[in-house]
Amino acid sequence: MQHRNWKKTLQRAISDPHELLSKLNIEDVSLISNQANGDFPLRIPPGYLNRIKKDNPQDPLLKQVLPSVEEEHDKTGFTRDPLNENNTQVSPGLLYKYQGRVLLVLTGACPIHCRYCFRRHFPYSDSTPSGENLEKVINFLQKETSVTEIILSGGDPLSVSDERLSKLVSQLAEIPHLKRLRIHTRYPVVVPERINDELLGWLTATRLQTVIVLHVNHANELDQSVRQAMNKLRNNNIPLFNQSVLLKGVNDSVHALVELSETLFSYGITPYYLHLLDPVAGASHFEVDETSAKLLMCEVQKQLPGYLVPRLIREDVDTPHKTIISFQEFGS
C-alpha cells in the first residue's frame, strides 16, 4: 500500500508552469520561459508545492523550480557538462573520479526538477545501467579492489523501484571490498512517503554501511511530513547528512544559511557541504561569486557552533577531490 502511495504522489506532480503560478495566486506569467520549460520541464510534487508561500514570486522554493526567463541568458563558462562527467565514465552510468569511491548514475528520473541542477543536460538515455550495462558495472567493481564506497546517484536513485534496488544492493554486497553504500537523494524531502517499509527493508538488511546524503537548500523545505521520514531513517540508525547549493535569491543571506543549518540539525541532519554553483548552462542567474560566498560564511561561522557550519566547497574539473574554500582571511 505504502509502495503505491509514493508513485501516486508522483502522478500528481505539476508540470504546467501556468497551473503552478495560478495555484500560487501569481498573475505575472511573463516570469515563465517556454523555452526553458521545453529544455528541462517543470516538475513539482504536491507536498513540496504546499510549502511554497502564495502571492510571492520571490519565494525561495518557487525559484528553485520555476522555468524562468532568466534561464535564456547565456553566460561564458556556463556549459552543458560543467564537470566534464562524460569523460569520467568507465562504463555506462559509472563515474570514477575520486579515489576509493565510484558514483553510479542509476536513472535520469527525479521527483522534482531543480533549475540549477548540474546534470540537467546529462545524456541519461545513453548512460544508465541496466541489463548488460549493469553486468559491466558489477564486473568493473569486482576487479577494482581499491573501491570501498559506492554512491547511488542520478537523477534520483530512489526513483527506481524497491525490487530493483534490493536486487542491486544484494549484488553490491557480494563484492567483498565494498564497505559503504551512499545514497544521494532528494526524495525524503520532496516526497517523504517514499521512505516506506519496503525501502527500509533492503536498506537495513544489507551488510554495507549505509549513509544518506540529502539535498536541502532552504529551511522552508522542511516540514512535519519530512520530519516523520527522517525519524524513520534515524530510528534505523542511518546517518543523515545534507549538502546544499549556494543560490542567489534562494539562500544567499546569513539569516537563510543560519536558519537552514539549525533547522536541519533539529531534524537530525548534519549540514555537510555548501557548494558553489556548478556553471551549468541555464543557471547563471543563481551564481554567487566566491568572494561573496566567503564573506557570507564568515558571518555564518560567527553565529553557529562549529558542527553546524557546512564546508564551503567548489568542484574543479580534473581535480581528484572537492576543493574546500577557506574563508578565514575575512575573519573578525
Angle formed at CA 154 by CA 225 and CA 31, multiple of 5 degrees: 70
**155 is a site residue for ligand SF4 (CB under 6 A):** yes
**117 is a site residue for ligand SF4 (CB under 6 A):** yes
Nearer to ligand SF4, 159 or 210 (CB): 159
Measure the CA–CA gap between 269 and 118, rounded to whole angstroms: 23
Measure the CA–CA gap between 192 and 235, rounded to whole angstroms: 15
Enter the C-alpha cell of residue 132.
548488460
**157 is a site residue for ligand SF4 (CB under 6 A):** no
In the block, cell 549556494 appears at 246
- DSSP reduced 3-state for 1: coil
130-149 residues near ligand SF4, rule: CB under 6 A: none
Measure the CA–CA gap between 265 and 262, rounded to whole angstroms: 5
Sequence length of the chain is 332
Question: Is there a contact between 232 and 192 (Cβ–Cβ < 8 Å)?
Answer: no
- Contacting residue, 63, 113, 218, 285, with ligand SF4 by CB under 6 A: 113
**119 is a site residue for ligand SF4 (CB under 6 A):** yes
Beta bridge partners of 244: 274
Nearer to ligand SF4, 109 or 254 (CB): 109
Nearer to ligand SF4, 122 or 267 (CB): 122
- Scored b (16 or more CB within 10 A) or e, 88-113 reads bbebbbbbbbbeebbbbbbbbbbbbb
- Contacting residue, 114, 213, 240, 258, with ligand SF4 by CB under 6 A: 114
**45 is a site residue for ligand SF4 (CB under 6 A):** no
Nearer to ligand SF4, 117 or 181 (CB): 117
Q: How far is the CB of 330 from ligand SF4 (least distance, A)?
A: 29
**186 is a site residue for ligand SF4 (CB under 6 A):** yes
Beta bridge partners of 153: 105
- Contacting residue, 45, 60, 82, 154, with ligand SF4 by CB under 6 A: 154
Residue 291 contacts by C-beta under 8 Å, 6 or more apart in sequence? none
**275 is a site residue for ligand SF4 (CB under 6 A):** no
Nearer to ligand SF4, 71 or 301 (CB): 71
- Contacting residue, 59, 71, 85, 156, with ligand SF4 by CB under 6 A: 156
Total residues contacting ligand SF4 by CB under 6 A comes to 11
Nearer to ligand SF4, 119 or 218 (CB): 119
Distances (CA, A) of 98 to 41, 88, 148, 151: 31, 10, 11, 11
Relative orientation angle of helices 162-173 and 132-143, to the nearest 10 degrees: 30
Nearer to ligand SF4, 110 or 165 (CB): 110
Q: How far is the CB of 287 from ligand SF4 (least distance, A)?
A: 16
Enter the C-alpha cell of residue 286.
543563481
Nearer to ligand SF4, 241 or 330 (CB): 241
**Contact residues: ligand SF4, CB under 6 A:** 110, 112-114, 117, 119, 154-156, 186, 215
